[in-house]
Amino acid sequence: MILLVLLASILIAFVAVYQYQEEAKDYHEKRLLRKEEAIKSHIDFVLRSTSFPVQTDKVPFIFKDAIYEIADIHRLQINLYDLEGNLLKSSKADFVADTISKCLDAEILNNLSNSLNKRFVEKLEENGESFQSSYTYITDGKFKPLAILNLPYLEDDEFFSGELIEFLKRLGSAYLFMFLIAIGLAFLLSKYITRSLKTISDKITETRLEKRNQKIEIESGSEEISALVNSYNAMIDQLEDSAVKLAQSEREQAWREMAKQVAHEIKNPLTPMRLSVQSFQHKFDPKDPRIHEKVDEYSKTLIQQIDTMSSIASAFSNFAKMPVQQDENLNIVEIVRLALDIFSEDYIVFTSEEEEIIAKLDRTQLVRVVTNLVKNGIQSIPEGRDPKILVSVGTEEDNIYISVSDNGVGISEENKPKVFEPKFTTKSSGMGLGLAMVKNIVETYKGSITFTSEQDKGTVFKVTFPKMN
C-alpha cells in the first residue's frame, strides 16, 4: 500500500512536469505566430503608407524609424534581410548590431524557400536559455517577396516554472498526507493480519516431538488463516500419534538390544561352566587319590564363572536403573581424593587448584564417575608402557571440572563418535557401559563430558558440572 502511494505520487509528478512542458512549448509556438502575424500586419501598413518605392533596396529607408516603433509596440526584436540573406535593417541599437548575423545561412534560406507556408522556425540553445527564431517573407502589394522578416523570440518559462513548482508543492503536501495515512492503515492492517500468523509462528516454533503440544485456538480470522490453523491442529494430532508409536518402537528396540547383549554376555561364562561339569562327570573317580584336589579346582572354575555372571547382572542393573539421587553439599576435592584411595597404584596423581570446592551432588554417583574414568584410563594403557594417570579438579567461571588424563593407546578417529554409546568397547572384556553411565550421570546434573585424544599418546576426559544445581 505504501509503495503504491509512493509510485502514484512519482508518476503524477512526472505526468505533471511533462504536461507543463508541453503546454509551455505549445504556448510559445502560438505566441510567436501571433506576434509574427501582428508585426507583418503593422509592416504592411507601413508599406502602404510610405512615400518610398516599395523595393528591396529601399527597405532600410522605409523602416528607418518605423522599425523601432514596431519593435517597441510589439516588444520583440525585428531583423529584416534581403532575399539573398543580407541584413538590411535591425531594431537593435547600432553599438550591438555586430552581434546580429549579417548574412543568413544557406540552410535557412533553403528551408524557408522549400516550406509550404513559406515560413521556417529555427530553435536554438544559448547560455542555458531556449530561443525560437522565425523566418518569413514580406510581400509588396502584388504579393511579390520583398524581404525576409526575422523575429528572435526568447522562451521565457519563468511563469510556467513558478506555476509548476507551486503545483508540485501542493501535490507533495497532499501526497505526504496520503502517505502518512497509508502508513497508519498499513500498520493497522498488518497488525490485524499478522496477529494470527504470529500466533501460528510461535506455536510452530514451540512444537516438539518429545512433549505434548498445544493446539491453536483463534476466535476470528480469514478463511486462509482458519485453514492454516486447522492444518496445524491436524498435524499436531498426527505428530502425537507418531511420537507415541516412535517411543514405543524405540523402547521395544532398546529392550531387544539389551536382551541380546545380556544373552550374549551370559552365554560366555556358561560355556566353560558346561565344559567343566561334563569333564568332571566323565573323569570322576571316588578312589582317585587326587579327587579332593580336582573337586577344588572344578569348584573354583565354577565360582569364577558365577562371579562373572554376577558382575554382568550388576552392570546391566546399574545402567538400566540409576539409584535415587541424594544430593548434598560436597567438597568435590575431598570426594575425588577418597574415590582414588581404592586404587593402590602410585602412578595415579591427583592435583587440585583449591583445597575446597563446594557443589550439590550425589556422593555415590560422583564417586562412580571418577572411578569409571580412572578404570577406563588404566585399561587403555598397553603392556610394556609405564602407566601415568593424572586426575585434576578445578573451577572455570560458574563451573567445576574434573579432568582424567592417561598415556594409553588413545581413541581412533573412527571410534570417537561411538565412545559414549552403550555396548561400545574396544577391550576384550567388559560390556562397554561405563562411559555411557558416566554420561548419563553428568547430564542428569546439566553438565557435560568431553574428551581429546591422540592416537598412541593418550586421552583426556573432562567432566564439567555447574556449581549450583
Distances (CA, A) of 183 to 4, 147, 191, 192, 198: 11, 67, 12, 14, 20
The grid coordinates of residue 121 equal 522556425
Residue 244 lies in a domain: no
Threshold 0.75, pTM exceeds: no
Residue 295 lies in a domain: yes
Phi, psi of 445 (to 5 degrees): -95, 20
Residues 61 and 156 in one domain: yes
pLDDT at residue number 101: 67
Local confidence band at 388 (pLDDT 50, 70, 90 cut-offs): very high
Residues in the chain, overall count? 469
- Per-range mean pLDDT, top range of 132-136, 254-258, 279-283: 132-136
Residues 456 and 374 in one domain: yes
Asked whether the predicted pLDDT for residue 286 surpasses 80, the reply is: no
Q: Helix 332-340 to helix 363-379 angle, to the nearest 10 degrees? A: 50
Please write the tens of the pLDDT for every residue from 392-447: 999 988 889 999 999 999 888 888 888 877 654 545 444 345 687 788 888 888 89
pLDDT at residue number 191: 75
Local confidence band at 320 (pLDDT 50, 70, 90 cut-offs): low
* CA pair distance 21, 31, nearest whole angstrom: 15
Give, as one character, the DSSP assignment of residue 433: -
Residues 284 and 412 in one domain: no
Instruction: Please state the rounded mean pLDDT for residues 236-258.
Output: 71
Please write the tens of the pLDDT for every residue from 112-134: 888 888 899 988 887 777 888 89
Cβ distance 336 to 402 under 8 Å? Answer: yes
pLDDT at residue number 39: 92
Residues 19 and 152 in one domain: yes
Residues 360 and 304 in one domain: no
* CA pair distance 217, 236, nearest whole angstrom: 13
Which of these three, 162, 186, 211, is where a domain ends? 162
Residues 351 and 286 in one domain: no
Residue 67: exposure state from Cβ atoms within 10 A (0-12, 13-18, ≥19)? buried
Which of these three, 162, 178, 193, is where a domain ends? 162
Residue 440 lies in a domain: yes
Residue 197 lies in a domain: no
- The alpha-carbon radius of gyration of the chain (Å, integer) is 55
The CATH number of whichever domain residue 334 belongs to comes to: 3.30.565.10
pLDDT at residue number 431: 39
Give, as one character, the DSSP assignment of residue 144: -
Question: In which domain, by residue range, is 278 found?
Answer: 270-320
Residue 396 lies in a domain: yes
Cβ distance 380 to 409 under 8 Å? Answer: yes
Residues 20 and 125 in one domain: yes
Mean pLDDT computed over every residue of the chain: 80
pLDDT at residue number 255: 64
| Domain total of the chain | 3
Instruction: Please state the rounded mean pLDDT for residues 280-301.
Output: 72
Residue 236 lies in a domain: no
Which of these three, 293, 320, 347, is where a domain ends? 320
Give, as one character, the DSSP assignment of residue 103: B
Residue 221 lies in a domain: no
Phi, psi of 459 (to 5 degrees): -135, 145
Cβ distance 89 to 67 under 8 Å? Answer: yes
The CATH number of whichever domain residue 142 belongs to comes to: 3.30.450.20
Local confidence band at 314 (pLDDT 50, 70, 90 cut-offs): low
Please write the tens of the pLDDT for every residue from 190-240: 777 767 777 777 777 776 655 666 677 666 556 667 777 778 778 877 777
